[in-house]
Amino acid sequence: MAVRLLLLVTVLLGACSEAQTPPTAPRAPTQRTVVVTDPQLACLVGRMLASDVRMEIIAPPDPESHDHTWAPTREQARMIRDATMVVTGGAGADGWLDLLGVRSDRLERVSDAVKDDLIVVSSDSHSHGASGSHSHVVYAPRPWLDPRRGVRILGWLSDTLTHEGLSADNDERAMGPLRDIFVSLRLESTDTLVVSTSASWHYPAEAVGASVAIVEQGTDPVWVRVEVNAAQPKRVVLVGDLDAQGVRAALEGSSVEVIAIEMGEDECSWLDALEAFAKAIRASE
């Protein structure tokens, strides 16, 4: 009798426990996220994503730098690993990602779209003893700054996003501005010297056949004059944080035209700079 009573109490308690347990709410679907590691690239990617896809920009202070020692915060690293896709500029400027264990099928380096058409800015070969010799090649970053390469990159990126179901199926918002600039840059300006603090400006300079000099931020205008004397251009286009007034003073008495183009802080300001570059070239011809 005691055993039956114990069993009855156990059954009743179990029934009460089940009755008091609230039903489990269905788990909300995780929002798809695309992480972009270069603000300039985010200007394009953001225009191409579907409305239900969130974009996060996680970038080092200088996305053009080949410094592979930069590391994101723990939270940023988690977001990168959990992202549906990680889009990076590549061209050797994103080696820090290799330390995060990002799955290769989620990592898209857009420079792969033009990997046989990147501009080499330096190359050296050296030996590590018994391990043999090898070469280090440094490429100019941000190849999309040349609209011709940029259109190819966008086509490749559009196909990739569409394949993963992340695209808005309308990439004209992204490709339109670059295509328009490309048309405006279909001319040669071999008597132009582009002086920039960014190695990425090798690309638009090459697009018009101009020579280029990459200098440090805040370079003394006298050194710019040295570059001008070596290149003997008709015009100098200054891009970045350079003392345009000082350069004009350093070139006083010469016939060289000095054109200054500012690079804003906004992630799409590079498009404005390219447009300004195209207008300056057209106006000078």
pLDDT digits (tens, 9 = 90+) for 71-82: 899 999 999 999
Task: Note whether 161 and 204 are same-domain residues.
Answer: no
Calculate the average pLDDT of the chain: 83
The pLDDT assigned to 200 comes to: 93
Which class for 164: exposed (0-12), middle (13-18), buried (19 or more C-beta within 10 A)? middle
The pLDDT assigned to 133 comes to: 57
The pLDDT assigned to 69 comes to: 79
Which of the two residues, 186 and 28, has the higher pLDDT score?
186
Which class for 266: exposed (0-12), middle (13-18), buried (19 or more C-beta within 10 A)? exposed
Which of the two residues, 169 and 195, has the higher pLDDT score?
195
The pLDDT assigned to 181 comes to: 81
Residue with tokens 């603000």: 39
Q: Indicate the pTM of the whole model.
A: 0.81
Which parts of 110-170 fold into alpha helices (H)?
147-163
Task: Note whether 96 and 206 are same-domain residues.
Answer: no
At 226, the pLDDT band (50, 70, 90 cuts) reads very high
Tally of domains within the chain:
2
Q: Is residue 13 part of a domain?
A: no
pLDDT tens sequence across 128-173: 555 555 567 889 999 999 988 988 998 898 899 999 999 887 667 7
Say what percent of the chain tops pLDDT 70: 84
Task: Note whether 163 and 213 are same-domain residues.
Answer: no
Three-class DSSP category at 90: coil
Task: Note whether 197 and 168 are same-domain residues.
Answer: no
At 28, the pLDDT band (50, 70, 90 cuts) reads very low
Q: Is residue 129 part of a domain?
A: no
Q: Is residue 15 part of a domain?
A: no
Task: Note whether 263 and 193 are same-domain residues.
Answer: yes
Task: Note whether 116 and 170 are same-domain residues.
Answer: yes
Range of the domain at 91: 33-121+139-178
CATH of the domain at 150: 3.40.50.1980
Residue with tokens 């003392």: 243
Q: Is residue 254 part of a domain?
A: yes
Which parts of 83-220 fold into alpha helices (H)?
147-163, 172-184, 202-207
Token pair listed for 242:
């350079």
CATH of the domain at 204: 3.40.640.10
**Is residue 124 over pLDDT 90?**
no
